[in-house]
Structures are given as C-alpha cells and as structure tokens.
Amino acid sequence: MSDPGSVPPALQDAILAWYASHGRALPFRETTDPYAILVSEAMAQQTQAERAGEAWIRFMAGFPSVAALAAAAPADVLRAWQGLGYNRRALDLWRAAGRIVERFGGAVPSGLDDLESLPGVGPYTARAVAALAFGLPVGAVDTNVRRVLSRIVAGGTEAVAPADLQRLADAAVPPDRPGAWTHALMDIGATLCRPRRPDCGACPARPWCRYAGSAAVTMATVRGRGVVREAAAPFRTTSRWLRGRIVDRLREAPNEEWVILDDAIGGHDPAAVEVAARALAKEGLVELDVSSRAGIRARLPIS
C-alpha cells in the first residue's frame, strides 16, 4: 500500500483523551530524564511493562546515572538485571553508557543518528527516547504501535509497508504532546488492540478504524475454534531457558569466583550445558576457563 492514509486531529484528540483517563501508571512515566528513559526502554523490550517498572526502580537505585552505570562491573549489572531475561540487553545498556561517557560527555544524545549509534539501540528505542525525553515529534513503532496504526488506516498489519508506516507514525505525532501520544499508542496496543480478540468496543479509535469496521473483527473472535494446534515445546527444554539458568547460577557466586559447570541443569545434560556456556561466552555474557581438569568453569564478566 503506497499511501497508508493519515491520522486526523479528531482521532488524535480521542486517543489522548482516552490515555488521560485510562493510561497505565508505570513508575518510569514519571520522569523525563533521558538516561532513566533509556533504561526503561531497554527493560521493556520483550518484558511486561509492569514487571519492567518494578525492576527499573531497583536498577535506578543501584545505577542512578550514566556515569555510575558506565563505571560498574558488568557482573554487577547482570546481577541487577536478574528476573528480566534476555541478559544481552543488560550488557548492551552497560556498553551504551560507556559510549555515552566517551563520545557525548555523559549526556544521552537527542539526535536519532546519535541514539542509534549506541549499542542495543535501534530505530524504535531511539525514537522512543527522542519523543519521551526530548519532546521530538517522532513516532516510535514497536509491535503494538504497528498493529494499532496499521489497523486504523489500512485494516490490517500486513497492508502497510514498514517504510510507509514509519512515515505515517512520524506524521501522526501531535507536535505538542509526543510523549503522551507515544504512551497512548503503546497502551492501546497492549490493552485493547490485541493480536487476538481485540476490544474494539472500548477503543477510542473505533470510529476511524478500518479494521473495526470490517469483517476481520468478527473473524478474529472465532478464529482457531475447532483447530488442533501442535503444542509448543515446554520452555524448560529450550536453549533460552538453559542459558538463563546458567547466568542465574553465576549470579549467585561471589564476584570473580569461578563456578564449575560439570552437571546437568534441568533436563539438559552436561554436553548441552557446555554448548550453551560457550555460546554465552561468545556473546560476552560470561567468561570461561577451560583449563581446569574439574571441567569447564564460568563466571560473570568482570571487565
């Protein structure tokens, strides 16, 4: 679709009014500090916002500034990240803090290109920080926002090319309220405009939404009935689960102390544990010592 349409002012007003009454109260929404917002966006990726909010409070108490995070040992950062999963995000955030100190004098940059030059910061995170911390009228497009905007203007998520959707998202931002608009779209996507069984009746965008006015809504409420789906593999059997348990085991050890990984973890045999540990080491999440006769040893990175 070459022309994804536009978001009229009346729709903007309706969405912002809904957010004022129904927006989620999350602790990191009380700040405009760019560093605090960068931390919150790193945490909220692939993590429920409420859980990220609780972790954000603890993390900010331990690392209250860019300088404090940059000066910390990566092992301490990984320990503070416990419970959030996707531990690579913690190291990316730590590396981003170091780069901010080295290249930007300790101040989170406001430009999109500078933000995207930071480890772990892609187009979405850069735009979220720019809009929420610096008030720039740019549209942060994550999975939820993509679904909301695509359904409104085109009736479905597959109808708008990514580049067209980004242009629409940027053009849709109210210049005087980019932060509230960003949060509002995220909340509508998370609570109303869900992938399955969307609550179109409660959505402020319904009068303008092509998806809500189509047969797709009816189909979404019945899709899957009578269909037998193959069950997903239990999480405990996955490499991701094993990697998380290895990092958790190393978190429990005092700093710089090696932990021998010579036994099974869950249903994963020692060979699988070693493969996972080597993959973690390749990504910089752990350090390995393979010289010990007792077996492979690991610890959280100390520098």
Does 215 reside within a domain?
no
Residues 202 and 247 in one domain: no
Residues 42 and 142 in one domain: yes
Neighbour tally for 217: CB within 10 Å: 17
**Which segment of 31-35, 91-95, 155-159 scores lowest on mean pLDDT?**
155-159
pLDDT mean over 201-228: 68
Does 216 reside within a domain?
no
Residues 247 and 197 in one domain: no
- Is the pLDDT at 182 greater than 50? The verdict is yes
- Is the pLDDT at 34 greater than 90? The verdict is yes
The predicted structure's pLDDT at residue 282: 86
- Is the pLDDT at 224 greater than 50? The verdict is no
The predicted structure's pLDDT at residue 133: 97
What does pTM read for this prediction? 0.78
The predicted structure's pLDDT at residue 217: 53
Does 214 reside within a domain?
no
The Cα–Cα gap between 189 and 152 comes to 12
Residues 280 and 162 in one domain: no
Which member of 41, 102, 116, 230 is catalytic? Answer: 41
The Cα–Cα gap between 52 and 248 comes to 18
| Better pLDDT: 278 or 57 | 57
The predicted structure's pLDDT at residue 15: 96
Does 54 reside within a domain?
yes
The predicted structure's pLDDT at residue 222: 44
Does 212 reside within a domain?
no
Q: At which of 190, 206, 222 does a domain end?
A: 206
> What range defines the domain where residue 109 resides?
9-206
Predicted confidence band at 290 (pLDDT cuts at 50, 70, 90)? Answer: confident
The predicted structure's pLDDT at residue 47: 85
> Of 214, 70, 69, 241, nearest to 155 (Cα)?
214
The Cα–Cα gap between 86 and 78 comes to 10
pLDDT mean over 270-295: 83
When divided into structural domains, the chain yields a total of: 2
283: annotated active-site residue: no
Residues 83 and 27 in one domain: yes
86 φ/ψ angles, rounded to the nearest 5 degrees: 45, 60
Residues 123 and 244 in one domain: no
Q: Domain containing 65 — which CATH number?
A: 1.10.340.30
The predicted structure's pLDDT at residue 232: 55
Return the structure tokens found at 64. 């209250």
Residues 171 and 247 in one domain: no
Residues 199 and 247 in one domain: no
The predicted structure's pLDDT at residue 5: 60
The predicted structure's pLDDT at residue 223: 47
Does 266 reside within a domain?
yes
Q: At which of 189, 206, 223 does a domain end?
A: 206
Name the β-bridge partners of 265.
268
Q: At which of 165, 189, 206 does a domain end?
A: 206
What does pLDDT average to over the chain? 88
The predicted structure's pLDDT at residue 4: 57
Does 4 reside within a domain?
no
Does 139 reside within a domain?
yes
Residues 28 and 138 in one domain: yes
Q: Domain containing 243 — which CATH number?
A: 1.10.10
> Of 247, 259, 254, 240, nearest to 285 (Cα)?
247
Residues 196 and 247 in one domain: no
Residues 45 and 190 in one domain: yes
Residues 75 and 142 in one domain: yes
pLDDT mean over 149-169: 88
- Is the pLDDT at 292 greater than 60? The verdict is yes
